Amino acid sequence: MIIDKIGQLLEEVKNLSAQNAEEIEALRLKYLSKKGEITALMADFRNVPADQKKEVGMKINELKQTALERINALKEQFETTDGEADGMDLTRTPYPIRLGTRHPLTIVTNEIIDIFSRMGFVLADGPEVEDDLHVFTKMNFAADHPARDMQDTFFVEQNPNDVTKNMVLRSHTSSVQARVMETSQPPIRIICPGRVYRNEAITARAHCFFHQVEGLYIDKNVSFTDLKQVLLSFAREMFGTDTKIRLRPSYFPFTEPSAEMDISCHICGGKGCGFCKHTGWVEILGCGMVDPNVLEQCGIDSKVYSGYAFGMGVERITNLKYQVSDLRMFSENDTRFLTEFESAK
């Protein structure tokens, strides 16, 4: 009789036991699946006489509910036991998630961008894998310039018979300036942050990749005085209102005249210390007036327009602000180092 079958199954499910999750799943399939024993009872329910349907129906429901409760209890017991074996207390609230902070190079890059954005410069970007034309040729590098050698530049694809077809990892973000100049007409006022690559030994003072921010302004009647005033404003915004600057003559293929800019050491106030090598000055960037050859290479009339350009290493600026002695720390992802900048912007 179906009543006897229900009673037998009820005793079975009350005494169900399992040792692991696989056994629990097997019990669920045996009793509660579409082909399980309780489902089979429900299929036989249509053959029950009408006067017994109410009683049988109630007992089948009781059996099904008991089976569900017992199997769920086994699951809960197994999960609790498993958690205790792993040293976990599943009744505890989740551990708080420790939030990260911005990388110091990102902090400083954003600060540099913010300063120049307030002067009217807009962001420009370009590819890190670049062709020789935009990295060297349009920037007035001679065909035999040392920067084109494998000792200085990472070549992705090199063609000895036609250097213009060489593909390199860009060694400066000046390639972005070249792309903007050849596709835009003055006035142009851009800031170009990005990662660059040079074939150098990795030491505490140098790395094979680092970050630059370069700026470019081209318009009619742009002078070296305009450049000096912009750089003075930047230095005082970045390092303090008492900061002084000095410009020393230098050479770059893409600017003429060219200069390197020093700032008064903000650590010793210009009196001389170990950081500034007891000179009172620290070099932070290179700059100059855009060479007319560069303008012409990029399709800009050098007789009508002039401009200035500047470039700085973000790691260098970060070292000055936070006195980080080893450049390798910026790329090692040591959380002990990174957590020191939680209070920075």
CA distance 289 to 295: 11
Q: What is the pLDDT of residues 66-86, one digit of tens each?
A: 888 888 888 887 766 554 445
Query: Is pLDDT at 309 greater than 70 in this prediction?
Result: yes
Which stretches within 18-119 are classed as H helix? 21-32, 37-44, 53-85, 104-117
Do 13 and 19 form a contact (C-beta atoms < 8 A)? Answer: no
CA distance 342 to 333: 14
Q: What is the pLDDT of residues 284-306, one digit of tens each?
A: 999 999 999 999 999 999 999 99
Query: Is pLDDT at 165 greater than 80 in this prediction?
Result: no
Bond before 187 cis per omega within 30 degrees: yes
Which pLDDT band holds residue 89 (cuts at 50, 70, 90)? low
Buried b (16+ CB within 10 A) or exposed e, 162-184: ebeebebbbbbbbbbbbbbbeee
Q: What is the pLDDT of residues 255-279, one digit of tens each?
A: 999 999 999 987 777 777 777 788 8
Do 110 and 345 form a contact (C-beta atoms < 8 A)? Answer: yes
